Structure 1
Amino acid sequence: MKYAIVIQWSEEDQCYVVFLPEFTNVMQPCTHGDTYSEALENAQEVLELLIETALENGEPLPNPKTLGQFFQVA
C-alpha cells in the first residue's frame, strides 16, 4: 500500500520531522531525522511497523489518500 509521508524542517527541533497523515491514531510527528534522507528512512520503518502491527492485531489499515484529498478546500 502507498501512504503519504510528509517531511518538514522544524526550526524548533533543528531536525526534519515526519508526519503520516493517514494514520490519525498515531502521535504526530511520528519520527524525525537530522537529514532529509534519514527522516525518510525512519518514516519508512515506522510505516512498515504500523502496517505490520495492524495486520497482526486484525485491525483495519487506513485507506491511502490521493494528493487531491489532502488539498481539498472546504
Structure 2
Amino acid sequence: MKFSITLDRDEDGVWIVECPSIPGCVSQGETKQEALDNIKDAIASCLQVRAERSF
C-alpha cells in the first residue's frame, strides 16, 4: 500500500514528514532519508493501532 506524504524542513533544519491521509501521523529526522525511514515506521504503527481499535 502506498501513501502520499509531505516533507518540509523546519527553521532548525530538521526534516518534518507527515502522512495527510492518516491524521496525526507525523515524524521527523535529522536527514531527509532518516525522516523518510521514520515515517514508514510511523505509518505502520498508526495502521496497527487503528486495526486493533476496530475490533
Structure 1 unaligned spans of 5+ = 60-74
Match of 1:13 in 2: 12
Higher helix share: 2
Compute the RMSD of aligned alpha carbons: 1.7
Report deviation, 1:15.
0.7
Distance in structure 2 (CA, Å) of the matches to 1:57 and 1:41 = 25
Correspondence 1:32 to 2:10: no
1:15-66 CA distance string (max 9 Å, x none): 1001111112x16xx111010100000000000000111111117xxxxxxx
Secondary structure of residue in 1 paired with 2:12: coil
Normalised TM-score (structure 2):
0.83
Normalised TM-score (structure 1):
0.65
Structure 2 unaligned spans of 5+ = none
The structure with more radius of gyration = 1
Identity of aligned residues (%): 25
Higher strand share: 2
Match of 1:49 in 2: 45
Give the aligned length: 55
